A and B are shown apart, each in its own frame.
Chain A
């Protein structure tokens, strides 16, 4: 339905979500029902950040900027996803890749399926790259040896 003029001023703009609130309308693969997240960035924890489940703050995914892990990373985002996320240009995209901690000495990052977020609207989607076959789902991170 189209209105000639906005009825409620508060909802007039489809404004961006508050800072660092991330909406994934399709959820994550395997977690399709969880759509709202908060991106927690603490400089002391760099290069990691937390993608926290908004409805359950004890649950989170560890994420990392993939370009720090693999400077030659060349993710190719399929056209349907570009449209879904509303990306007008590559600069609009924030990429976060999910880290799995397997144990004290092993952690990997999924480079096949980055979470691609529109920086302007903070709406995103976990995308399977068009060139997913070039990347590993368990790309090893250089974890420092820790004393057992």
Chain B
């Protein structure tokens, strides 16, 4: 692993397009600013680990009973065909 020393206000450039700047150092907390193109996902490592753990916990036997919900609409998940669509949509990031 490459280890560099940086002072607050100094930056590192990766691949000519990702800039990592040390914004502030407060005790044992380092504030890092990241400028990256929108096609480069930037997340805290914990998010990946959280989702991995969550998936592992969610894997189930198909015979498991489903929970009974009180307040959620009972609409069925549409088949994965092109015609059916939910009422709400995600937003897609554009280049």
The interface of chain A, by Cβ under 8 A from chain B, is 19-20, 22, 28-31, 39, 41, 43, 45-50, 52, 57-65, 67-69, 71, 73-83, 87, 89-96, 98-101, 104, 107, 110, 112-114, 116-117, 119-120, 122, 126, 128, 130, 132, 137-138, 141-144, 146
Residue in A41, A62, A132, A146 whose beta carbon sits within 8 Å of that of B47 in the complex: A132
- Chain A interface, DSSP helix/strand/loop, else mixed: mixed
Cα of A22 to Cα of B79 in the assembled complex, Å: 11
Q: Are B73 and A68 in contact (CB under 8 A)?
A: yes
Q: Is B27 an interface residue (CB 8 A)?
A: no
- Taken together as a complex, chains A and B put the C-alpha atoms of A35 and B39 apart, in Å, by 23
B binding-site residues for A, Cβ under 8 Å: 38-41, 43, 47-48, 50-62, 64, 66-82, 84-95
Least CB separation from A83: chain B residue: B39
Q: Are A122 and B50 touching (Cβ within 8 A)?
A: no
Q: Are B54 and A31 in contact (CB under 8 A)?
A: no
| Dominant secondary structure of chain B at its interface with chain A | loop
Cβ-closest chain B residue relative to A22: B80
A61-B59, A87-B92, A101-B64 known; A112+B72 contact, CB < 8 A = no
- Which residue on chain B has the smallest CB distance to residue A124? B80
Tell me if A117 and B80 are in contact (CB < 8 A).
yes
Task: Tell whether A61 pairs with B60 under 8 Å between CB atoms, given A19-B79, A20-B80, A46-B76.
Answer: yes
Q: Is the CB of B88 within 8 A of A91?
A: no
